Amino acid sequence: MSELESAGAGKVALVTGAARGIGRQIAITLSKHGYRLGLVDKLAADLSVTAEHIERMGGEVVTVTGDVADPEHVDHCCDTVEKRFERIDVLVNNAGYAGRFGSFAETDPDDWWEVMTTNVRGPMLCCRRVVPGMLDRGHGYVVNINTRVAVRDDGPPTFSALAASKAALARFTGALAHETAGRGVVVLDLNPGMVRTAMTEQRPDYDDIPDRAFLPVTVGAKAVAALVSGRYDALHGRFVHARDDLDALAKAVIDLPRARVLGFGTTGPDDPVG
């Protein structure tokens, strides 16, 4: 077993939204790398399928059915994982909601806001509960699962809630990264690429997306395992894509403090924002 493959031996990872899709594959991959796992999702039956798969592989796992946007659920989840495994070394904020795709004018305000609640409040609550323990121990990783609509405006004009929530998540990642810099806790955004999932299939342009645009679900999951291995801590606070050459990117950003960081573009040397 390679150094990367054994990087999680004895460590504990909490993965949200682990019932299916990307979250399930992240959990399976981390288990293969030696992590003991805490898994949370609203979908109890599908979550059990994930857990059974990991246990058949010989992995250790505890599951909690709950909503990451509910602080009582988050506390119960983390208490359960820590009671079983004593601590949480890695937090993967994967749980997400895209909402009902459609124009902003036709979107139900409550549904629009539910996207914000799941995609921003959820990771915030999980970090609020888990990060203090990481800081006390001087070690930990937070991986926020993000998407390119957070940083680019070339997607379909039906993503206002998703785009706003994921841009907020990217800024949260940056702010938390500043707070934890030099204290042993690494915080990153990861775009796992476009993956064929039940959520993706709801896109109004799904049938027009070329096959080459999609990545296997395993690619993003392997990127998570690599990012929490300790080899790419130079990417702290950055936005990473599953297609990235992580070695090349980690080397490239050393002298580029604003690379892969969500910010406001300026117009010249006299721009007051600059």
Label each residue of 106-153 as H, E or C.
HCCHHHHHHHHHHHHHHHHHHHHHHHHHHHHHCCEEEEEECCHHHCCC
Q: Report yes or no on 204 lying in a domain.
A: yes
What's the CATH code of the domain at 56?
A: 3.40.50.720
pLDDT of 250 reads: 96
pLDDT of 157 reads: 61
- Domain membership of residue 160 as a residue range: 12-255
Distance, in Å, from the CA atom of 58 to the CA atom of 9, rounded to the nearest integer, reads 13
- Contact (Cβ atoms closer than 8 angstroms) between residue 141 and residue 130: no
Q: Report yes or no on 185 lying in a domain.
A: yes
Q: Report yes or no on 26 lying in a domain.
A: yes
pLDDT of 228 reads: 98
SS3 state at 267: coil
Strand partners of residue 62: 38
pLDDT for 222-251, tens place per residue?
Answer: 999 999 999 999 999 999 999 999 999 999
H-run or E-run covering 217:
helix 217-227
- Number of domains the chain is built from: 1
Report the predicted TM-score, pTM, of the whole model to 2 decimal places.
0.91
List, run by run, the mean pLDDT of 10-residue segments along the chain (274 residues).
66 97 97 97 97 97 97 98 97 92 86 96 98 98 92 71 94 97 97 76 68 82 97 96 95 91 79 69
Q: Report yes or no on 271 lying in a domain.
A: no
pLDDT of 144 reads: 98
Distance, in Å, from the CA atom of 157 to the CA atom of 202, rounded to the nearest integer, reads 14
By CB atoms closer than 10 A (0-12, 13-18, 19+), residue 145 is buried
Q: Report yes or no on 5 lying in a domain.
A: no
pLDDT of 257 reads: 87
pLDDT of 216 reads: 87
pLDDT of 272 reads: 76
Q: Report yes or no on 44 lying in a domain.
A: yes
pLDDT of 1 reads: 52
Q: Report yes or no on 43 lying in a domain.
A: yes
Q: Report yes or no on 122 lying in a domain.
A: yes
